[in-house]
Each structure stands twice: as structure tokens, then as C-alpha cells.
């Protein structure tokens, strides 16, 4: 495929920021229609019938809006969205070398239903198979995260990411101790010893337990956080607020924008499942579509190692403590 020029990319980036902001506003307006003071009778009806249906409708409306805006401005670009995909015939990974928009109109759907502020729209633009532009907008928090390859990562277009950056702090020598560990319980709650829930919980407890505990696997992380949005998890890892994010089960539209923002900020993203030898296995960039992710925040050098070395050391320490998760693609 022909490379996009710098100017073309910058145009697409500006368009994506506007699109993310206006799509987020639609989400927020729909949320406010549930608690505004107008038309109480209609609202009573809506809440009683099914807040979930209302949210599903908003989800679909926002995806249709985003898709049509893109089709109008860039008719030659491909579009992969959560709603389109769920209703489509194929369960394959649909992203190839063509310029492709990868969009989640509403990440953190459960949060949105309950009006917990950690929900957002996620717009990724992929060129030659690589996440090249990312825009995440959380309208209730009015937080906009954005990045374009070569242009850095930003909060609200004014604050470069990671926030602490002159210099960017190294990862703790004792990582995962001293780190904030971000993880999610997910939807797979089957109570089977070898199910994903129990594999996750065993991993969480290893990361949390005191040093020396759990047969040497205790990681004594500084904190365990669960927000209910993979996209927000990635955004806060790019910001430097979370040191480690480990998750299985998300889709490419949940993470395309976030991975771009994380990488452009200097973060690392690889696979969640530990390789046979965590101490020596190569640390490869996560494949979009793999559904299994381990992200490490941007890190600066310490007197004894580069930022990248600190990130790789942290990856290996996480791999040593987590179990492999079982999230294959339905069509694979």
C-alpha cells in the first residue's frame, strides 16, 4: 500500500479528534437524558422498561454516526466497528494493509448503563496494519487522549503524556512491587477451576500478595485497580497513572486507539500469556486481534538500565506471576 504523507496523516488526525469529541458528546447527551429534569414521564418509562436497551440503542446510533462521518470524508477507507462486527457474518480478524478505522462507539458499556464516569468512545486509525492514530474521549470526565505517530501523545491536546516527564521516572527496581496494577474481572464468570475467572483471580492474588507469599510469586503491587474499561485502562497506562495493565478478552476496537496512544507516549505492549520461559523469551509487540495484552507504562532510564530494559524486566516479572488465559477468536 502507498504510504500516507505527513500532511495526509495530520489531516486524518485532526478529523479523528473532532469526530471523537462530537461522538462523546452524543454519549453524554444520551446519558443526561436519563437524569435531566425534562419529560420525567417519558424517562420513568425508559428506566423502567430497560436502561440496557436504551444504551444499546445509543451504542448503535453513535457507531452509525461515526461510520457515516468517515464514509463521507474518506470513502476509500475501511471501517471495523464493534456493532458492525457483532452483526456481521464473519468472526475473522478483518484488518489488513488497507487504511482502516477501528472504532468502539462506547467502551465501558456497563459503566455507561450505571452512569459510572469511566466510559468513552475509542477511535483508532490503522495504516499498513499498525495503529497510527488514536483518539479516546471520556465525555463525563471531559478527558481527551490522543496520539498520531510522530506527534506524541496528549491529554486534552495540551498536556503531553506521560504526565511526569522531565524526566520520565524509571520503573521501580522492585517491580511489580511499587506499581499500580490494572486488571479487569471480565464477563467470563464460569466457576470452573480452569476457567478464565479463576485463572485471573489466581494471577491477581499473586500480583497483590506480600513478597515471599504465594510460593515466591507474591508481587506486593502498590495497588490493584479495576475500572471496567480496557480503553480507559490503556489511556491511564499511557498517562503513567497505571504501571501495568494485564487483560484478556478485549477486541481490536477496544484497544486500537489506546495502543497507539500508549506506544506514542513510550509505553510497551506485548502478550498477556506467559511464554514457556518468561525469563528469556523474546518480548514481541502484541498483535492487534490477539485479544491478550500486557501493557507497561512509559519509563525513563535509571542509572543501571534503559527505560526499555526496565519495561522488559517488568514484563518478565508479570509473566512469572500470571496464568495463561483462554480467549480465542470465535471464528478462529
> How far, rounded to the nearest angstrom, does the alpha carbon of residue 195 sit from its chain's CA centroid?
23
Give least dist CB 284 to its own copies, A. Answer: 27
The C-alpha cell at 181 is 496494577
- Footprint of its own copies on residues 46-105 (CB under 8 A)? 47-48, 51
The C-alpha cell at 133 is 492514530
Among 239, 295, 296, 325, the residue binding its own copies under the rule CB under 8 A is 239
State yes or no: 27 annotated in a binding site: no
The C-alpha cell at 164 is 511526569
Q: What is the H or E stretch that residue 79 is in? A: strand 78-81
Report which of 216, 225, 183 is spatially closest to residue 200, judged by C-alpha positions: 183
Among 22, 61, 117, 289, the residue binding its own copies under the rule CB under 8 A is 117
Among 101, 137, 145, 236, the residue binding its own copies under the rule CB under 8 A is 236
Give least dist CB 22 to its own copies, A. Answer: 22
Please list, in sequence order, all residues whose beta carbon lies within 8 angstroms of the beta carbon of residue 312, skipping any fewer than 6 positions away: 268, 283
Tell me whether residue 9 or residue 207 sits nearer to its own copies (CB atom): 207
From residue 231, alpha-carbon distances to 97, 165, 287 in Å are 23, 22, 16
Among 21, 56, 116, 323, the residue binding its own copies under the rule CB under 8 A is 116
What size, in residues, is the chain? 332
* DSSP 8-class letter at 248: E
Specify whether the CB–CB gap between 206 and 214 falls below 8 A: yes
Whether the bond between 301 and the residue before it is cis, its omega within 30 degrees of 0, is: no
- Footprint of its own copies on residues 160-199 (CB under 8 A)? 163-167, 169, 180, 185, 189-191, 197-198
Q: Which stretch binds its own copies (CB under 8 A): 9-17, 121-129, 222-230, 288-296?
A: 222-230
State yes or no: 144 annotated in a binding site: no
3-class secondary-structure state, position 230: helix
Number of residues that bind its own copies (CB under 8 A): 55
Give least dist CB 180 to its own copies, A. Answer: 5
Please list, in sequence order, all residues whose beta carbon lies within 8 angstroms of the beta carbon of residue 110, skipping any fewer than 6 positions away: 228
Tell whether residue 28 is a contact of its own copies (CB under 8 A). no
Among 25, 43, 78, 308, the residue binding its own copies under the rule CB under 8 A is 43
Give least dist CB 241 to its own copies, A. Answer: 4
Q: What is the H or E stretch that residue 26 is in? A: helix 6-32
By the criterion CB under 8 A, which residues form the site for its own copies? 34-35, 37, 40, 43-44, 47-48, 51, 110-111, 113-117, 141, 159, 163-167, 169, 180, 185, 189-191, 197-198, 201, 204-205, 208-210, 212-214, 218, 220, 222-228, 236, 239-243
Binding residue positions = 82, 104, 106-107, 254
Binding residue positions for Mg(2+) = 82, 104, 106-107, 254
Amino acid at each position: 500500500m502507498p504510504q500516507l504523507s505527513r500532511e495526509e496523516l495530520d489531516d486524518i488526525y485532526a478529523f479523528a479528534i473532532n469526530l471523537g469529541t462530537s461522538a462523546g458528546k452524543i454519549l453524554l447527551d444520551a446519558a443526561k437524558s436519563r437524569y435531566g429534569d425534562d419529560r420525567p414521564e417519558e424517562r420513568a418509562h425508559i428506566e423502567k422498561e430497560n436502561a440496557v436497551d436504551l444504551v444499546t440503542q445509543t451504542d448503535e446510533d453513535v457507531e452509525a454516526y461515526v461510520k457515516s462521518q468517515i464514509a463521507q470524508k474518506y470513502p476509500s477507507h475501511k471501517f471495523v466497528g464493534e456493532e458492525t462486527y457483532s452483526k456481521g457474518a464473519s468472526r475473522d480478524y478483518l484488518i489488513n494493509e488497507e487504511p482502516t478505522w477501528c472504532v468502539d462507539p462506547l467502551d465501558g458499556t456497563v459503566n455507561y448503563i450505571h452512569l459510572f464516569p469511566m466510559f468513552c468512545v475509542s477511535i483508532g486509525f490503522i495504516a499498513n496494519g499498525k495503529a497510527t492514530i488514536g483518539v479516546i474521549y471520556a465525555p463525563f470526565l471531559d478527558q481527551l487522549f490522543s496520539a498520531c505517530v510522530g506527534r506524541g501523545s496528549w491529554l486534552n491536546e495540551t498536556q503531553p503524556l506521560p504526565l511526569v516527564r522531565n524526566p520520565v521516572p524509571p520503573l521501580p527496581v522492585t517491580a511489580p512491587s511499587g506499581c499500580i496494577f490494572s486488571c479487569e474481572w471480565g464477563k467470563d464468570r464460569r466457576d470452573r477451576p480452569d476457567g478464565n475467572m479463576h485463572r485471573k483471580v489466581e494471577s491477581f492474588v499473586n500480583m497483590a500478595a506480600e513478597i515471599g507469599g504465594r510460593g515466591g510469586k507474591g508481587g506486593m503491587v502498590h495497588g490493584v485497580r479495576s475500572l471496567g474499561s480496557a480503553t480507559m485502562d490503556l489511556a491511564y497506562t499511557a498517562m503513567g497513572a497505571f504501571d501495568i495493565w494485564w487483560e484478556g478478552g478485549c477486541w481490536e476496537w477496544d484497544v486500537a486507539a489506546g495502543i497507539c496512544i500508549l506506544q506514542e507516549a513510550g509505553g510497551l505492549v506485548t502478550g498477556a500469556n506467559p511464554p514457556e520461559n518468561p525469563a528469556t523469551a523474546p518480548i514481541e509487540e502484541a498483535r492487534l486481534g490477539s485479544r491478550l495484552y500486557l501493557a507497561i507504562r512509559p519509563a525513563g532510564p535509571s542509572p543501571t538500565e534503559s527505560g526499555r530494559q526496565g519495561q522488559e524486566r517488568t514484563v518478565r516479572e508479570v509473566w512469572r506471576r500470571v496464568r495463561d488465559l483462554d480467549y480465542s477468536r470465535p471464528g478462529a
